[in-house]
Structure 1
Amino acid sequence: MDGTLVDTEPLWMETETRLVRQFGGSWTHEDAMRLVGSGLLDSARILQDAGVRMAAEDIVSHLTGEVMAAVVRDGVTVRPGARELLAQLRERGVKTALVTMSLRRMALTIVESVAPDAFDVVIAGDDVTRPKPFPDPYLQACEALGVDVRDCVAIEDSPTGLRSAVASGATSLGVPLHVSLVGAGAHAVWPSLDARTVDDLAALHENHRKAHHD
């Protein structure tokens, strides 16, 4: 979601920076980049190491609340082509799931705001035992959809997310935004979803399956 469907990463970074500084620490852009795509509890532990003297669960709740408030107040930037591609998938009857490490309450707020009818299933960070980069979130989404993961295409913007998608067995597409995806194992990388179609996704899946089978 964050970075693939919408660009909320700057909001997360600003909120993290304020929180660390509140406790007298420093938080750089490079520090923030380490958290992109990670589970929120994993991110909270890194913030604790940076000097935030709060329980991990309290850090997660604080960050989520602040970012949600900013989204409600100021809106959020939808990534180029994302909304259009989701609409095409819905028209063609393709099942869809949103797999995010953000909390469910935030995921549902953003989905309702930018693509209310786009997803059959939402799997959020507080729905899974093991977050990305483990494959569990994607496997859980496929189980909820009633599909085989090998019949799916996963779209990710972070190395952590891509590792999760690749490990699950899905055809994995990288669409970078804030961080490089080099070395993350993507089966293909597109610079943007802009002007991309369902047929493009189908061709990517077919080509990956043929290569994998061969």
Structure 2
Amino acid sequence: MTSSLPAAVLWDMDGTLVDTEPYWMAAETPLVESFGGTWNHEQALSLVGLGLDDAARILQSAGVRLPTTEIVTRLTDNVIDRLSTDGVPFRPGARELLFGLRAAGIKTALVTMSLRRMATHVVDLIDFDAFDLVIAGDDVDRPKPFPDPYLQACAALGVDPARTVAIEDSPNGLRSAIAAGTVSLGVPHMVSLTGVGAHALWPSLDGRTVADITDLHTAHASSKEIN
């Protein structure tokens, strides 16, 4: 079988490219507690991979008496402040793989349910030209797990979803990538991805190269047989 470079590699952001999930969780707890509620780790995990509006509604059910838009704004501002102070906390191997993909001339897109202003803040902190495109949560009508974010990214890049690889760390993200018809790669972080239906699950991106992504794409782009 001849190896085939993917037309593009599509990256989730929070928990996949950067380890910002703890930042979100750290912002959620004091927000809930400020309204007299409680917020535990299991509840925080239930928000991983959700669109921000959906996450805000869950926080409202936990007692946060604020409009959805204000909850999203407060959480986003808090996480941006942490990023500005601490820099970009890349997941293991993510920066190196992303840099390698760019060096190989492969198109890349960031496909995240975070707000565009946060996504562009992260991209601006990366010390090389990392992405051809950013699709954020406020750019789409339907968030992950709907296929819309990945379909919109592929349309903007001018590529067939079947010729792309999407990298995700959450069940909702993977469901979106699978529904869009990409070759889906799960790299679990805080929640299990077993049984979601990814074409492959890697425990980490550490040590992974363009050759690994190419082999994954070659193995699944034609058959599209879900493991």
Same fold (TM over 0.5): yes
Q: Deviations over 1:44-89 (max 9, x none)?
A: 0000000000000110011000111111122231111111111111
Worse-matched range after superposition: 26-35 or 199-208: 199-208
SS of the residue 1:96 aligns to: strand
Quote the sequence identity (%): 65
Q: State the alpha-carbon separation in 1 of the partners of residues 147 and 127 from structure 2.
A: 25
- 1:32 pairs, out of 44, 55, 74, with 44
- Number of equivalent positions: 213
Task: Give the 5 Å matches for 1:128-207.
Answer: 128-207=140-219
Tell me the CA shift for residue 115 of structure 1.
4.8
Gaps of 5+ in 2: 1-12
1:85 aligns to what?
A: 97
Q: CA deviation at 1:30?
A: 0.3
Query: 4+ runs of 1 displaced by more than 2 Å?
Result: 209-213
On the 8 A contact 1:85/1:197 being kept in 2, the answer is: yes
Q: Which runs of 5+ in 1 are unaligned?
A: none
TM-score (norm 1): 0.97
Tell me how far 1:212 sits from its aligned partner. 3.0
Pick the aligned partner of 1:15 from 22, 27, 41. 27
2:203 aligned counterpart, secondary structure: coil
Residue 135 of structure 1: CA displacement?
Answer: 0.3
Q: CA RMSD in A?
A: 1.1
Please tell me whether the aligned partners of residues 163 and 221 of structure 2 are also in contact (alpha carbons under 8 angstroms): no
Alignment match, 1:5:
17
SS at the partner of 1:177?
coil
Aligned-partner Cα distance in 1 for 2:43–2:28: 10
Structure ranking higher in helix proportion: 1
Instruction: Please state whether the residue corresponding to 1:199 is helix, strand or coil.
Output: helix
Determine the C-alpha separation between the residues in 2 that align with 1:111 and 1:23.
33
Q: Deviation per CA, 1:104-133, whole angstroms, max 9, x where unpaired?
A: 000011111125411000000000000000
- Structure-2-length-normalised TM-score: 0.91
Pick from 59, 72, 90: which aligns with 1:60? Answer: 72
